[in-house]
């Protein structure tokens, strides 16, 4: 085998050709723990054995009959190892976002007929326990972290017998690239969540198509970056100000610890869509509350929302062939700021377009002409520059929300972005 056809083939090829000492890494008890390619493969083998002994056999691989294993978990190495173990058993993972409402969680587990579910911690264990009686198919709940009174995922790390090893190999060999790999449920913003069925071929072909756009180390080598992704609480369970509070806390951590933990004290900030909104809000808080905004050398703000009171393009005054609709923007805004009036939503801490924007770092603004948030970017870039800051604006014709995912947009945008970020990264 020279090219992967199923997702777990990637691990097999890496193990044979390019094993790494640190294929995966995650923080445990405040320190990073790394997993080599061999450790990952061995763990998947044992976990597959444990699933096999729970009756996950892969006997029926039709989209309707294939067994779906649930997981409600934050990003961590165990998530990836579980996913690959489930695939090798001929089953499909059904991931669920940790902040999902109880109603939607119950719906998904029943819709997918989940029999076994893995949860991250005690909070999510109790969340699943609250609805367990209303999910008749659910028989086993395992936690990743240690939780009193709960079964732990490590119970399934079992060494296979020769017979089990042969059975797992037969199952793996029989899995076709067209077989179901995962079922990802939509957020439910337009009704009940809907399961999107993705085969191994769907995902592998997508990765192959993206690889030329992101050669390994391109941003890192060109700018000497270490990238930090911020997890923040989400509405509706955690409306404003929870998300901005979390981003502010993460930025302050970076200011204090980046040089020691990441090897540099030169900081940049950025985000897309809601992430761009939070990045702008965070910069304003760092300036006004902590007087440390000068620690950030640049901002990359991509198709953000900056006026939660509603710009003309947000309100759909001009019809646009966009992925994001005016109705969806209104729905998300209400979840984030429930019950607030237009004027309340234009508080500068909520809508950074209305803030005093002096003393902020150079910013690259990107948006598509067909994006319902195009006015937000046009107005914000203009006010950013008028306040005396450096602002660069990229507007791509016939590009919707999320348009940087289009190859015709990505390549020129990425080149511009890399050059923009290289300046502060190199001390310019």
Q: Where are the beta strands (DSSP E) in 258-386?
A: 267-272, 296-302, 363-368
For residue 203 the two structure tokens come to 């995902």
For residue 133 the two structure tokens come to 């009686």
Catalytic residue among 273, 288, 347, 349: 273
Q: Where are the beta strands (DSSP E) in 144-258?
A: 151-152, 180-185, 195-199
Determine whether 238 is an active site residue.
no
Q: Is the bond into 236 cis (omega within 30 degrees of 0)?
A: yes
Instruction: Tell me the C-alpha distance between 183 and 91, whole Å.
Output: 11
Determine whether 408 is an active site residue.
no
Token look-up 């198709």 returns 303
Determine whether 173 is an active site residue.
no
- For the chain, helix, strand, coil in percent to 5 are 45, 15, 40
Instruction: Tell me the C-alpha distance between 364 and 304, whole Å.
Output: 12
Q: How many CA atoms lie within 13 A of 31 on its CB side?
A: 1
Token look-up 């709960």 returns 150
Q: Is the bond into 241 cis (omega within 30 degrees of 0)?
A: yes
Catalytic residue among 200, 277, 372, 401: 401
Q: Helix 7-17 to helix 77-88 angle, to the nearest 10 degrees?
A: 110
Instruction: Tell me the C-alpha distance between 137 and 213, whole Å.
Output: 43
Cα–Cα nearest to 56, from 78, 86, 93? 86
Instruction: Tell me the C-alpha distance between 132 and 200, whole Å.
Output: 30
Q: Read off the DSSP letter of residue 41.
A: H
Cα–Cα nearest to 195, from 109, 80, 67, 322? 109
Q: Which residues are catalytic?
A: 273, 371, 401
């Amino acid at each position: 085998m020279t090219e992967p056809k199923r997702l777990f083939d990637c691990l097999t090829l890496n193990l044979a050709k390019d094993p790494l000492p640190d294929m995966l890494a995650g923080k445990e008890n405040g320190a990073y723990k790394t997993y080599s390619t061999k450790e990952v493969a061995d763990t998947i083998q044992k976990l597959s054995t444990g699933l096999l002994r729970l009756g996950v056999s892969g006997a029926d691989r039709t989209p309707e009959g294939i067994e779906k294993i649930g997981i409600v978990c934050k990003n961590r190495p165990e998530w990836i190892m579980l996913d690959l173990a489930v695939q090798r058993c001929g089953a499909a993972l059904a991931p669920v976002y940790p902040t999902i409402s109880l109603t939607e969680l119950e719906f998904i587990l029943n819709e997918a007929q989940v029999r076994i579910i893995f949860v991250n911690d005690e909070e999510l264990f109790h969340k699943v326990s609250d609805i367990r009686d209303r999910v008749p198919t659910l028989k086993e709940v395992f936690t990743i972290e240690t939780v009193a009174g709960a079964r732990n995922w490590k119970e399934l790390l079992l060494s296979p017998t020769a017979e089990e090893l042969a059975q797992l190999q037969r199952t793996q060999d029989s899995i076709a690239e067209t077989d179901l790999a995962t079922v990802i449920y939509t957020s439910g913003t337009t009704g009940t969540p809907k399961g999107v069925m993705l085969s191994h071929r769907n995902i592998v072909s997508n990765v192959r198509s993206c690889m030329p756009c992101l050669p390994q180390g391109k941003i890192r080598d060109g700018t000497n970056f270490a990238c930090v992704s911020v997890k923040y609480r989400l509405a509706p369970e955690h409306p404003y100000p929870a998300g901005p509070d979390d981003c502010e806390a993460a930025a302050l951590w970076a200011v204090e610890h980046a040089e020691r933990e990441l090897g540099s004290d030169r900081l940049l900030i950025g985000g897309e869509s809601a992430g761009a909104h939070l990045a702008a809000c965070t910069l304003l808080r760092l300036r006004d509350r902590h007087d440390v905004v000068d620690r950030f050398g640049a901002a990359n703000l991509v198709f953000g929302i900056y006026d939660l009171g509603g710009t003309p393009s947000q309100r759909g005054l001009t019809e646009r062939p966009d992925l994001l609709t005016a109705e969806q923007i209104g729905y998300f805004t209400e979840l984030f700021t429930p019950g607030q009036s237009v004027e309340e939503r234009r508080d500068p801490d909520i809508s950074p377009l209305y803030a005093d924007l002096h003393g902020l770092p150079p910013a690259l603004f990107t948006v598509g002409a067909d994006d319902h948030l195009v006015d937000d970017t046009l107005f914000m870039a203009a006010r950013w520059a008028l306040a005396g800051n450096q602002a660069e604006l990229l507007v791509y014709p016939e590009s919707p929300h999320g348009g940087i995912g289009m190859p015709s947009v990505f390549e020129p945008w990425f080149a511009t972005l890399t050059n923009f970020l290289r300046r502060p990264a190199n001390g310019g």
